[in-house]
Amino acid sequence: MRIAILDDYTNAAPTAADWGVLPNAELTPVMTSMMATEAERAQALLPFDVVVAMRERTPFPKSLIEQLPNLKLLITTGMRNFSIDMNAARAKGIDVCGTQMTPYAAFEHSWALLMSLAKQIPAEHQAMASGGWQARTGVGLNGKTIGILGLGKIGAKMARAAKAFDMNVIAWSPNLTKERADEHGATLVDKTELFETSDFVTVHMILSDTTRGLIDDRALSGMKKSAFLINTSRGQIIDEAALIGCLEDQHISGAALDVFDIEPLPTAHPLRKLSNVILTGHTGYVVQELFDLAYGQAVENVVAWRKGDPQRLLN
């Protein structure tokens, strides 16, 4: 049985789970996210019986699935993956199974980015590492307004953390109710007010047809010049070109981004050249505890599937 592990940038999978319980299994890392075309992905994945995919990295549309006659089991980290055509997989007799994910990693990363922006941590570290001292002036959080786009599980944690720092919490999303906002100590406002009054805007929404490009030039131009933007959700929720222009013109003080339109972010991408951004390479989920959980359950999924009783079946 040949198993492909996709897009494991830190090579965590081999030691995060006991793959040895799968006799005669050959484990192979495959970096499909580095491949430009679907044809390249199809060729790379053709030999494999089982594929373990990182959630919403490598897309599996019908066109790719139909080029993988050997594939019998597709496992995704997470219990949802909008980049897999579940119906096409079922039509080809491919079971798609999921794993659990840690519920706190993305929140922790979001708050770390917010604090890094406020306290200018990367610039201060670079100054100290190069022999300097006190490179920039940070800002306090006490009394500032945080605007949370999306008050789901992660957004609710952001609201609670903000309250601990004595921040004013406002929130908006297309379906957010006053009752939900009140429950988490936030004030429900409209989208325009959120962008115009927030000192920090943080994004915690699922990418969909209604959220793609939601943060456009109009929203960005309404922000305070002193404001900061944090995005750990999906890059396509923000109009990237508009954001780059906004940052280049220093219309806002800065942004911290963990997600991008194209991932991995191209080496010569304009965002890499800006001094008022903090960038991380979609590491909001990257903690050892998640790898232990997800890859451990991936092994469990393979064991159960081989017994004819697939677990955590998504299709």
> Pick the catalytic residue: 55, 56, 234, 240?
234
Q: Answer yes or no: do 119 and 243 share one domain.
A: yes
Q: Answer yes or no: do 260 and 294 share one domain.
A: no
Within-domain flag for 313: no
Can 272 be counted among the known catalytic residues? Answer: no
pLDDT of residue 56: 78
Within-domain flag for 311: no
pLDDT of residue 12: 95
Rounded to the nearest integer, the mean pLDDT of the chain is 96
pLDDT of residue 57: 86
Q: Answer yes or no: do 144 and 59 share one domain.
A: no
- The domain tally of the chain equals 2
Within-domain flag for 312: no
Q: What is the pLDDT of residues 109-132, one digit of tens each?
A: 999 999 999 999 999 999 999 999
Please give the Cα distance from 135 to 127 (Å, whole number). Answer: 6
300: three-class secondary structure by DSSP: helix
pLDDT of residue 13: 96
Measure Cα distances from 203 to 110, 156, 193 in Å. Answer: 9, 12, 15
Please give the Cα distance from 213 to 197 (Å, whole number). Answer: 21
Given a cut of 90, whether residue 192 has pLDDT beyond it is yes
Can 282 be counted among the known catalytic residues? Answer: yes
Please give the Cα distance from 275 to 174 (Å, whole number). Answer: 33
Q: Which of 249, 243, 264 is nearest to 201 (CA)?
A: 243
Place of tokens 């505890």: 289
Q: What is the pLDDT of residues 69-107, one digit of tens each?
A: 999 999 999 999 999 999 999 999 999 999 999 999 999
164 contacts: CB under 8 Å, gap ≥ 6: none
Please give the Cα distance from 228 to 118 (Å, whole number). Answer: 8
Identify each DSSP E strand in the chain by its residue range.
Answer: 2-6, 26-30, 50-53, 73-76, 95-98, 145-149, 168-172, 187-188, 200-203, 228-231, 254-257, 277-279
- Burial code (b: 16+ CB inside 10 Å, e: under 16) for 39-71 equals eebbebbeebbbbbbbbbbbbbeeebbeebeeb
Q: Answer yes or no: do 84 and 156 share one domain.
A: no
Q: Answer yes or no: do 60 and 94 share one domain.
A: yes
Q: Answer yes or no: do 23 and 161 share one domain.
A: no
Q: Answer yes or no: do 115 and 236 share one domain.
A: yes
Can 109 be counted among the known catalytic residues? Answer: no
pLDDT of residue 36: 87
> Pick the catalytic residue: 38, 196, 263, 300?
263
Q: Answer yes or no: do 31 and 56 share one domain.
A: yes
Within-domain flag for 254: yes
Q: What is the pLDDT of residues 34-76, one digit of tens each?
A: 898 999 999 999 999 999 999 878 999 999 999 999 999 999 9
Give the CATH number for residue 268. 3.40.50.720
Q: Answer yes or no: do 166 and 149 share one domain.
A: yes
Within-domain flag for 226: yes
Q: What range does the domain containing 242 cover?
A: 105-279
Within-domain flag for 10: yes
Q: Answer yes or no: do 208 and 229 share one domain.
A: yes
Please give the Cα distance from 229 to 134 (Å, whole number). Answer: 23
Q: Answer yes or no: do 126 and 241 share one domain.
A: yes
Q: Answer yes or no: do 94 and 142 share one domain.
A: no
Residues in the chain: 315
Given a cut of 90, whether residue 180 has pLDDT beyond it is yes
* CB-based contact 292:99 (threshold 8 Å): no
